[in-house]
Amino acid sequence: MPEQQVSPEQLKALQEKIKQMSPEELKEFQKKQCVFCQIVAGKIQSRKIFEDENVLAILDINPANPGHILLLTKEHYSIMPQLPDDEIAHVFMAAKSLSNSMLRGIEVQGTNIIVANGVAAGQRAQHFMAHIIPRKENDGINFVLPQNSMQQAEIEAVGNKLIAALGGTPKEAEKESKGINLDEISKILGAR
Ligand SMILES: [Zn+2]
């Protein structure tokens, strides 16, 4: 199917228009473009599982496993940092009861609760959501996280950056590693 062509001029005009929008206008514009806002508004059909004043839980139409739920905020937020604290608290309380409903209602053995926060993390939709995925042993889903080895000093350094970002006081860096350095030992042994 031929894609709708947008000329460079049209694109530039649109970018200019977006730049001049107030935050409220920008949000309205984003909402109009957002499939999940259309679902929240009832303009696109979905299989609703749960709803309250803040969130809407629907079944994923392309589930990782049967019962895979998308938990959406009713308000349009692109990424997690935009959510007020009480809303994020509410999202995870809802995630907990939806997860429990899976354990009780569809005889699964576990659940994964996933938020892809940003494109680098695999976020595809522009609307904040949490995935709640029912799990059974040997169900073919594998979240294999690499287990890299890292020097203690590097672990300390990254930990200190995170503590500082949270407003805490980083630990004083150790002057010298007290651990046994295998590289140094093999160098000494090799030199003999
Ligand atoms: Zn939206």
Rounded (10°) CA dihedral 134, 146, 166, 88: -10
Residues 107-130 have pLDDT tens digits of 999 999 999 999 999 999 999 999
How many angstroms separate the alpha carbon of residue 127 from the centre of ligand 1? 4
From start to end of 10-109, where are the E strands? Answer: 48-51, 55-59, 69-73
CA 145 to centroid of ligand 1, rounded, Å: 30
22 against 137, higher pLDDT:
137
* CA–CA gap between residue 134 and residue 108 (Å, rounded): 6
Given the structure tokens 């695999």, which residue do they identify?
122
Give bridge partners of residue 73 from the DSSP assignment: 55
User: Can you identify the CATH homologous superfamily of domain 14-135?
Assistant: HIT-like (3.30.428.10)
Closest residue by Cα to residue 129 from 165, 170, 160, 87: 87
pTM score over 0.85: no
Residue 22 CA to ligand 1 centre (angstroms): 18
